[in-house]
Amino acid sequence: MVNSSGWDDVKQAFFSPEEFKSAFPDILRAFWINVKIFLIAEVFILVFALAVAVLRGLPGPVFFPIRAMAIVYVDLFRSVPTILVIYILGFGVPALALPGVPIDPLFWGIVSLVLVYSAYVSEVYRAGIDSVHPSQAAAARSLGLSHGQALRFVVIPQAVRRVIPPLLNDFIGLQKDTALVGLLGVVEAFRQSQIDVAASFNYTPYIATALIFIALTVPMARLTDWLIARDKRRQQAGRLA
Amino acid sequence: MSSGNGHALVIEGLRKSFDKLEVLRGIDLSLAEHEVVCLIGASGSGKSTLLRCVNLLEPIDAGRIFVRGQDVTARGVDVNELRRGIGIVFQSFNLFPHMSVLANITLAPRKALGLSKVDAETRAEELLARFGLADKRDEYPDRLSGGQQQRVAIVRALAMQPGLLLLDEVTSALDPELVAEVLAVIRELAAEGMTMLIATHEMGFARDVASRVCFLDAGVILEEGTPAEIFGAPHQPRTQQFLQRIVDAGRL
C-alpha cells in the first residue's frame, strides 16, 4: 500500500499530524454528544424493547391485536434503513410545526435510534424469554402467580441474564450509529470532523473520529467477550457439579 | 352441584387430547378429604397429564373437575385463586435457579397471598426446619443434591398451605439413595392428613401410603381399589401384566 503511486497524496490527505493535532480536541469535545445520545437512547431502548417483547408474548386470542401491533412495529423498524428513519423523523416531524412537539434535531435523532434499536433488542429479549424452559413458568403459575408475576419474578430475570452478551453486541452497533444523528445537523463527532474537513480540505479529521470510536467500542467488545466466557464457565461448572 | 360436595376432589368424564393423540379418555375419580390416592401405570398412560389438568396447567377437552365442591372447569373461574389452594410438585423439581431457597419458598406467599416478607420468611423457616433443611435457606438450588432440591420443592408447595397436594413422579429423577428422604417427607404429610394425589413408580411406597390405588392404562382408570386389592389380587389382565413386570424387575 505504501508503495502505491497514490500513497504520498493519501498520506498527506488522511494522515497529516498537524491537521490531527488541530482537529482532535474539537472532535473529542463533540464526541460527548455521541456519548450522551448513546446513554440516553440505551436507557429507553432497554425498557421499551422489553415492553415490546412482553406484549408480543401475551397469550390467548384476546391479545391478538396487541401481538399484531408489536410484530408490525418490529418488522417495520428492522426493514427501514436507520438513516431513512432519521431523515424522515428528523426532518419530517419538526416540519409539521405541531404545537408542543419538539423541533430539536437531537431529540428526533435519539427517538429514531430508540425506535430502530428497540426493534432489534426486543427480538433479543424474546429469544431470551423463549429460552427459559416452560416448566419454570408452569411452576410459577402452579403456585398461583399470575402470568405477569410469573414473567416478572421468574422468567424475565433468567432471560435477561442469558441475553446480556447479545444485548451488548447491539449496543456496540448503537454506539457507532450515533454518528448518523449528525446528518440532522447535530454537531457530534462525525459532523464536527466534516466541518473540519470542509475548512481544510484535509481528511485527517475522519481518521481522528474513527480512532475515538474505536477507543470506546473495543473495550466494550472485550467486556462482551469476557461476559460470554464467564457465562460459559458458570454453565460448565453447573454441569459438572 | 351436588357431585362435588364433601370431597376434596371430584373428576368426571375428563378427556384430554394433544393434537390427535387422546391421552385421557374419560377419567372418573374422587378423593375424600385426607385421602391419599396413588396413580400407577406405565409411562404414557396419562398420570402426569391427569395431575396437570387438575390445577388447569393443561386446558381440558371435556368433563368436569370439582375442587371442594367448586366446579373449576366452569367459565370465569379465577385460575390463580384456584391454584393457590392446590400444590403441585414436579418430577424435575422446577425450582427457580436464580433465587435462594428462601426466596423460592417465599415468592408465592408474598406475591400471590400478600403475606409480608417477615411472615412469609417465618413460615418458610418453620417448614425448612421441620424437613431438616434449615441450614440451606440461603443456598441456591444448583448447589443442593436432588433429594434436597425435591424437598425444597415440596416445602415451596406447602408454604401456600394447600388443601390438596399433587405429586408428579417426584422421585423419578433422583438417585436411588436419595429417594428415601423424599418418600419419608411424603409419608409424614400423609400421616398428618394431607389430601394427596400421587403419580408414582414406587410400588412399595404406594402400597404403604395409599388409601386407594388407581391403575391407569391408555388414558382410563382400568382398575381401582385398596393397595391390598390392587397389589394382592388384581382382576384385570393388564394390571396383572404390569405388576408382574414390576415384580420381575425386582421393584416390588
Q: What is the 3-state secondary structure (H, E, C) of chain A?
A: CCCCCCHHHHHHHHCCHHHHHHHHHHHHHHHHHHHHHHHHHHHHHHHHHHHHHHHHCCCCHHHHHHHHHHHHHHHHHHHCCHHHHHHHHHHHHHHCCCCCCCCCHHHHHHHHHHHHHHHHHHHHHHHHHHHCCHHHHHHHHHCCCCHHHHHHHHHHHHHHHHHHHHHHHHHHHHHHHHHHHHHHCCCCHHHHHHHHHHHHCCCHHHHHHHHHHHHHHHHHHHHHHHHHHHHHHHHHHHHHC
The alpha-carbon gap from A153 to the nearest alpha carbon of chain B, in Å, equals 8
The alpha-carbon gap from A175 to the nearest alpha carbon of chain B, in Å, equals 31
CB contact under 8 A, B111 and A238: no
CA B10 to centroid of chain Cα atoms: 15
What pLDDT, on a 0 to 100 scale, did the predictor assign at position A241? 40
Grid cell listed for A102: 419538539
Least CB–CB distance from B83: residue in A142, A158, A161 = A142
Are A95 and A141 within 8 A, CB to CB? no
Better-predicted residue by pLDDT, B6 or B127: B127
Nearest to B220 by CA among B29, B18, B20, B59: B29
Cα–Cα distances in Å, from A121 out to A1, A77, A110, A159, A186?
Answer: 40, 11, 16, 13, 25
Identify the helix (H) or strand (E) that includes residue B53. helix B47-54
Identify the helix (H) or strand (E) that includes residue B227. helix B227-227
For cell 498527506, what's the residue?
A12
Test mutation, A132, A135, A142, chain B, max B CBs within 10 A: A142
Q: Are strands B70-71 and B62-67 parallel, antiparallel or unpaired?
A: antiparallel
d(CA A225, CA B129) in angstroms, rounded, equals 43
Query: Could you report the predicted ipTM of this complex, rounded to two decimals?
Result: 0.90
d(CA A59, CA B29) in angstroms, rounded, equals 31
DSSP secondary structure letter of residue B29 = E
Q: Which CATH number fits domain B2-248: 3.40.50.300, 3.10.20.600, 3.40.109.10, 1.10.260.40?
A: 3.40.50.300
Which chain B residues are closer than 8 Å to A238 by Cβ? 142
What pLDDT, on a 0 to 100 scale, did the predictor assign at position A211? 93
Q: For residue A25, how many C-alpha atoms fall within 13 Å in the half-sphere facing its CB? A: 3
pLDDT tens string B134-147 = 999 999 998 899 99
Across the strands, what pairs with B70? Answer: B67
The domain segmentation of chain B, as residue ranges, is 2-248
* The pLDDT of residue B219 is above 50: yes
What average pLDDT does this structure show over A45-66? Answer: 93
Q: How confident is the model at residue A237 (pLDDT cuts 50, 70, 90)?
A: low
Q: Taking CB atoms and an 8 Å cut-off, how many pairs form between chains A and B?
A: 62
CB contact under 8 A, B98 and A158: yes
What pLDDT, on a 0 to 100 scale, did the predictor assign at position A18? 87
Mean pLDDT taken over chain B: 91
* The pLDDT of residue B2 is above 50: no
What average pLDDT does this structure show over A111-124? Answer: 97
Which chain B residues are closer than 8 Å to A142 by Cβ? 55, 57, 83, 86-88
Across the strands, what pairs with B87? Answer: B165
Q: Are strands B7-18 and B62-67 parallel, antiparallel or unpaired?
A: antiparallel
What pLDDT, on a 0 to 100 scale, did the predictor assign at position A31? 94
The alpha-carbon gap from A241 to the nearest alpha carbon of chain B, in Å, equals 8
What pLDDT, on a 0 to 100 scale, did the predictor assign at position B74? 87
Test mutation, A143, A147, A236, A240, chain B, max B CBs within 10 A: A143
What average pLDDT does this structure show over B180-198? Answer: 93
Q: Which of A57-61, B22-26, B237-241 has the lowest mean pLDDT?
A: A57-61
Q: How confident is the model at residue A221 (pLDDT cuts 50, 70, 90)?
A: confident
Across the strands, what pairs with B62? Answer: B15
Kindly state whether A237 is in contact with chain B, defined as any CB-CB distance less than 8 angstroms: no
Test mutation, B88, B94, B117, chain A, max A CBs within 10 A: B94
Mean pLDDT taken over chain A: 90
* The pLDDT of residue A1 is above 80: no
CB contact under 8 A, B57 and A141: yes
Cα–Cα distances in Å, from B168 out to A26, B17, B94, B177?
Answer: 68, 19, 12, 19
Across the strands, what pairs with B14? Answer: B27
CA A220 to centroid of chain Cα atoms: 13
Least CB–CB distance from B90: residue in A135, A154, A238 = A135
Test mutation, B98, B113, B154, chain A, max A CBs within 10 A: B98
What average pLDDT does this structure show over B102-128? Answer: 96
pLDDT tens string B203-213 = 988 998 999 99
Which chain A residues are closer than 8 Å to B97 by Cβ? 158
What pLDDT, on a 0 to 100 scale, did the predictor assign at position B124? 97
What pLDDT, on a 0 to 100 scale, did the predictor assign at position A236? 61
pLDDT tens string A125-163 = 999 999 999 999 999 999 999 999 999 999 999 999 889
* The pLDDT of residue B246 is above 50: yes
Task: For chain A, list the domains and their CATH numbers.
Answer: 7-240 (1.10.3720.10)
What pLDDT, on a 0 to 100 scale, did the predictor assign at position A209? 93
* The pLDDT of residue A109 is above 70: yes
The alpha-carbon gap from B90 to the nearest alpha carbon of chain A, in Å, equals 8
Q: How confident is the model at residue A23 (pLDDT cuts 50, 70, 90)?
A: confident
